[in-house]
Structure 1
Amino acid sequence: MSDNETPILATLNDPEAIHLIVLTGMSGGGKTVALRALEDLEFYCVDNLPTALLPQLVQAVLQDPGSARRRIAVGTDVRNRGDDFRHLPQVISDLAEAGVQVHLIFLDCRDEVLIKRYSETRRRHPLAVRGTSLADAIATERRLLRPLMAIAEKVIDSSELNVHQLRRLVATGYAQAIEGLTLMFQSFAFRRGLPLDADFVFDARCLPNPHWHPRLRPLSGKDAPVRDFLDAEPLVAEYFADTARWLDAWLPRFEQDDRSYVTISVGCTGGRHRSVYLVEKLAAHYRAQREGVLTFHRELE
């Protein structure tokens, strides 16, 4: 730690109100997915932040009088400067000593799975410079990250997890900063099968389908033209109102039963238009009432 960082730690006020999750791990292990899950849980998320700026970030959140969020998630990996990993344990220790609730999470993955993921996505590994094979880059990264893995509060192996399973694992593991029930709204295509982890499934195939309009077909339920089309359909408004009314009546029963996580799935034929639209609309409806609302679009991600 440099001397100029000490005054920053000394000026922290109400540090116990801060939950800071530091996400690191193997490139391709799912850090971006984990950050997205935490962002859905109302964490203030920053990716690839230099270690030296962590105390400043905590202080900025604490000193912002208009901010109600006291949960921060920061991603750091081998894209950071080389000395970042050497200083990170000390920075975490200093923040914890100041009273910040710091959690270091390491996302791991088997080498053969990482190689397959990079091959499928055609992305370049951050350490795969000219003349370095992908396998060698992964081995170098694993060596550089070994000290952080050793001190991590939790190591998550994403080798056998799909995107949704990883998001759910992160959300359920760190929703303790959220009071009440965490809701996952997910869209899917019936033609690709039902999601196995759904607690409730709603079928939107009876609604008008934007797919049959050539102008709307390439878009998704997140796009304004599709939203406008569905907003104008009375049957869609009735379907949403009935679904929200049913969930409003029954979700409190699950909270009383000490459930911490419920997955609500909405399906349509292709999983791109009606189900996506309804998931986004339902999520917005419940985010206005509570914290801990996540979304996942199986056919879009």
Structure 2
Amino acid sequence: MQLFLISGLSGSGKSVALKALEDSGYYCVDNLPAALLPVLVENLHQTGNTRIAVSIDVRSGDSVKQLPHYIERLKQQGIDVHLLFLDAQTDTLVKRFSETRRRHPLRNALPPAQTNEGLTLPECVQLEREMLAEISNIGHRIDTSELGANALRAWVKDFKGVDRARITLLFQSFGFKNGIPLDADLVFDVRCLPNPHYDPVLRPLTGRDAAVIEFLERNQNVQQMCEDIRSFVERWLPCFIADNRSYLTVAIGCTGGQHRSVYLVEKLARCFKLQQQVLLRHRELGNTY
């Protein structure tokens, strides 16, 4: 049996992720109380369901804190369990709630003695983040701050398809003007390199276009930066593997996330694909490659 758990902050895209798995043939359950997870898995196992996706979050109340314990129990039973944790910047979550005029579900999840109608929306987000801190550390995190629904669906399908027995190297480009990705394990700043943005011909292109590639490959500093990052990741990757990591996200940022970071992510992915399982993300381009 394969079990995908979707968790994360309210407004981060859990419904979109769950729908993507449902479209891929998974039996899906939304907003399941964490305490009922073992019972659900046992019942579905008896009915022959082998691919299950379940969304669990703070609406479970205090039982959500026991989720790591339930996951460990299920793994001991031989069930292939994977947790996908969705996150986003606080201002992004506040904006999403403000646009939809929805009430933050945390107010309904708290016991009556703890409910505080005076909490602001940012305070609800912060409290929810604290309540889910332990869960976020045991799953694969995706920062949805700059993601549209289509991009998130593509990322979830990539996550579903990887080999869990091997570590996955995830190279991600981003623009510092939109903030550092919350899901990054290693962050490299390449804003010191020559910027194609200042060339009117190259400006509308990306780091995947031949003209930009040619421009960057002519520069010795760009090539040295690429080699230094490659050498650093190669040197320390065995330590992350020894730490039983399933994913290692290497984020490379330039100013806008269009040219330099995209070029370097593409080149580094090609270098490591010969030995490792590799995924690529270009946050500012809104696509997965």
Q: Secondary structure at the match of 2:59?
A: coil
The equivalent of 2:124 in structure 1 is 137
The equivalent of 1:146 in structure 2 is 133
Aligned residue runs from structure 1 range 191-270, under 5 A:
none
Matched AA of 2:34: T
| Correspondence for 2:91 among 106, 109, 112 | 112
Aligned partners of 1:42, 1:92: CA distance in 2, in Å?
22
Q: Deviations over 1:161-181 (max 9, x none)?
A: 00111011101220359xxxx
Q: TM-score, normalised by structure 2?
A: 0.52
Check whether the contact 2:33–2:59 (CA below 8 A) recurs between aligned residues: no
Structure 1 residue 23 corresponds to structure 2 residue 10 = no
Offset of residue 97 of structure 1: 0.7
Aligned partners of 1:53, 1:120: CA distance in 2, in Å?
33
Matched AA of 2:136: M
Q: TM-score, normalised by structure 1?
A: 0.50
Q: Secondary structure at the match of 1:151?
A: coil
Identity in percent: 46
Q: Deviations over 1:63-103 (max 9, x none)?
A: 11xx4x41111101111121x12211111001001100000
Structure 2 segments unaligned to the other structure (5+ residues)? 108-115, 164-289
Runs of 4+ in 1 over 6 A off after TM superposition: none
Q: Secondary structure at the match of 1:79?
A: helix
Q: Secondary structure at the match of 2:117?
A: coil
Aligned partners of 1:167, 1:86: CA distance in 2, in Å?
27
Aligned partners of 1:147, 1:101: CA distance in 2, in Å?
20
Aligned partners of 2:137, 2:155: CA distance in 1, in Å?
21
The equivalent of 2:75 in structure 1 is 96
Aligned partners of 1:111, 1:75: CA distance in 2, in Å?
21
RMSD over aligned CA atoms reads 1.4
Matched AA of 2:84: I
Check whether the contact 1:41–1:175 (CA below 8 A) recurs between aligned residues: no
Check whether the contact 1:106–1:149 (CA below 8 A) recurs between aligned residues: yes
Check whether the contact 2:7–2:56 (CA below 8 A) recurs between aligned residues: yes
* Paired residues, number: 155
Structure 1 segments unaligned to the other structure (5+ residues)? 1-17, 178-301
The equivalent of 2:64 in structure 1 is 85
| Correspondence for 2:150 among 148, 156, 164 | 164
